[in-house]
């Protein structure tokens, strides 16, 4: 388990003092994939670099498996860092070394006996699907393959925590998905805790269990990914989610609508039921679908629909009340005109 308690990181520039991380407290459970989302400058990279003390926190405490990293130094800190792997956006492979040698370098630095290094490197290459690339150089690999090497290197010393700093930002969408599937596989097979920094909500939606949104060095919202997607609270969170699930209606269409415009959110099994058709049959209301989809987050359905409801005001109100009774959320965007 990772426990971050009142963590702050302050940077002193010539002009001013900048709070990169501002009194952040988070608990990340063992074996979960936790996403930290924010725009550039939000403090998310400073936070993740504090987790393995690449950045020294100004104040606060970091405990990993009950070990207080902020109290360690020298040999003890180096030993603790061996249990924290890290992968980066730009790979940072040694161009003059083969793929085998890049991964072996991490094991040599940890003073693994030379007679065990080859076996371990081949295990790691098998894990990331690059066994046939052991003797090639980084320049001969695609971006996705380079990141797979970075993952293998980060896992070399059997860490309990894997930190991912914008690990897919330099990759195309298809390659991103393959890397995310690999991370999910590693998480399940090794029960390794993954902390993933990103500005891409699609990444969080795909593999994370829980998430936090950062702004100006602070955590402004956190919770289960499904709960945040289905009921975001903060304006910034809503903005991020709209980049994945957008329901904007063109003004030319809006100007033609005379009925009541509603946004209906169905969670879990309710998303798969015929609530809307039941409502139309039960009440003298016509429904005009304007936008909608069913997303699958953490293997749970989340249905969001924009509809125009046409009919007498009392019938529309009764229809909305009925939908609410079916454990759906209804937001009236514009009343009947």
Q: For 258-287, what is the mean pLDDT? A: 82
Whichever domain contains 262, its CATH number is 3.30.70.260
Say whether both 236 and 328 belong to one domain: no
Last residue of a domain, one of 242, 272, 301: 242
Say whether both 204 and 284 belong to one domain: no
Nearest 5°: the CA angle 82, 154, 90 is: 130
Mean pLDDT for all residues in the chain = 89
Q: Are 302 and 294 in contact (CB under 8 A)?
A: yes
Asked whether the predicted pLDDT for residue 331 surpasses 80, the reply is yes
Say whether both 98 and 218 belong to one domain: yes
Exposure string (b/e) for 78-117, b if CB count within 10 Å is 16 or more?
A: eebbbebbbbbbebebeeeebbbbbbbbbbeeeebeeeeb
Closest C-alpha among 259, 313, 308 to residue 288: 308
Task: Give the per-residue pLDDT at 337.
Answer: 58
Asked whether the predicted pLDDT for residue 107 surpasses 70, the reply is yes
Asked whether the predicted pLDDT for residue 13 surpasses 90, the reply is no
307-310 contact pairs (CB < 8 A, 24+): 307/261, 307/262, 307/264, 307/276, 308/257, 308/259, 308/260, 308/261, 308/262, 309/259, 309/260, 309/261, 309/262, 309/285, 310/258, 310/259, 310/260, 310/285, 310/286
Say whether both 268 and 180 belong to one domain: no
Structure tokens at 75: 């040999």
Last residue of a domain, one of 193, 221, 242: 242
Say whether both 158 and 177 belong to one domain: yes
233 is in which domain, residue-wise? Answer: 2-242
DSSP string, 201-225: HHHHHHH-SEEEEEETTEEEEEEEH
Say whether both 113 and 257 belong to one domain: no
Whichever domain contains 222, its CATH number is 3.40.50.300
Q: Are 11 and 55 in contact (CB under 8 A)?
A: no
Say whether both 180 and 321 belong to one domain: no
Say whether both 146 and 267 belong to one domain: no
Q: For 24-35, what is the mean pLDDT? A: 96
Asked whether the predicted pLDDT for residue 272 surpasses 70, the reply is no
Q: Are 132 and 51 in contact (CB under 8 A)?
A: no
DSSP string, 86-122: EEETT----TTS-HHHHHHHHHHHTT--HHHHHHHHH
Task: Give the per-residue pLDDT at 101.
Answer: 93
Say whether both 302 and 205 belong to one domain: no
Last residue of a domain, one of 214, 242, 270: 242
160-182 residue pLDDT tens: 999 999 888 888 889 999 999 99
Q: For 3-29, what is the mean pLDDT? A: 92
Say whether both 116 and 213 belong to one domain: yes
Q: For 112-118, what is the mean pLDDT? A: 89
Asked whether the predicted pLDDT for residue 271 surpasses 80, the reply is no
Q: Are 201 and 207 in contact (CB under 8 A)?
A: no
Asked whether the predicted pLDDT for residue 114 surpasses 90, the reply is no
Say whether both 32 and 122 belong to one domain: yes
Number of folded domains that form the chain? 2
221-237 residue pLDDT tens: 999 999 999 889 999 99
Say whether both 151 and 285 belong to one domain: no
306-322 residue pLDDT tens: 888 988 888 888 988 98
Give percent above pLDDT 90 in the chain.
Answer: 50
Q: For 105-116, what is the mean pLDDT? A: 87
Crossing angle for the helix pair 143-154 and 99-109, to the nearest 10 degrees: 20
Closest C-alpha among 186, 179, 217, 169 to residue 85: 186
């Amino acid at each position: 388990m990772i426990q971050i308690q009142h963590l702050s990181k302050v940077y002193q520039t010539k002009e001013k003092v900048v709070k990169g991380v501002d009194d952040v407290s988070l608990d990340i459970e063992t074996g979960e994939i936790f996403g930290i989302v924010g725009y550039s400058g939000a403090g998310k990279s400073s936070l993740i670099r504090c987790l393995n003390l690449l950045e020294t926190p100004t104040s606060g405490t970091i405990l990993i498996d009950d070990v207080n990293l902020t109290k360690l130094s020298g040999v003890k800190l180096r030993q603790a860092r061996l249990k924290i792997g890290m992968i980066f956006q730009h790979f940072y492979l040694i161009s003059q070394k083969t793929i085998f040698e890049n991964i072996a370098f991490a094991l040599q630095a940890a003073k693994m006996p030379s007679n065990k290094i080859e076996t371990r490197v081949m295990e790691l290459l098998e894990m990331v699907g690059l066994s046939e690339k052991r003797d090639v150089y980084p320049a001969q690999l695609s971006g996705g393959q380079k990141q797979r090497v970075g993952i293998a290197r980060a896992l070399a010393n059997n860490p309990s925590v894997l930190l991912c700093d914008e690990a897919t930002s330099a990759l195309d969408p298809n390659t991103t998905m393959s890397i995310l599937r690999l991370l999910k596989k590693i998480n399940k097979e090794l029960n390794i805790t993954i902390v993933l920094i990103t500005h891409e909500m699609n990444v969080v939606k795909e593999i994370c269990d829980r998430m936090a949104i950062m702004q100006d060095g602070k955590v402004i919202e956190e919770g289960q990914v499904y709960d945040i997607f289905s009921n975001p609270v903060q304006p910034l969170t809503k903005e991020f989610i709209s980049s994945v699930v957008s329901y904007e209606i063109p003004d030319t269409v809006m100007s033609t609508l005379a009925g009541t415009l509603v946004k209906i959110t169905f969670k879990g099994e309710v998303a798969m039921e015929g609530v809307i058709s039941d409502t139309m049959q039960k009440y003298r209301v016509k429904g005009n679908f304007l936008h909608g989809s069913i997303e699958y987050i953490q293997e749970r359905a989340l249905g969001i629909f924009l509809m125009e409801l046409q009919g007498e005001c009392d019938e529309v109100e009764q229809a909305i009340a009925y939908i609410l009774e079916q454990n759906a959320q209804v937001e009236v965007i514009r009343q009947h005109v």
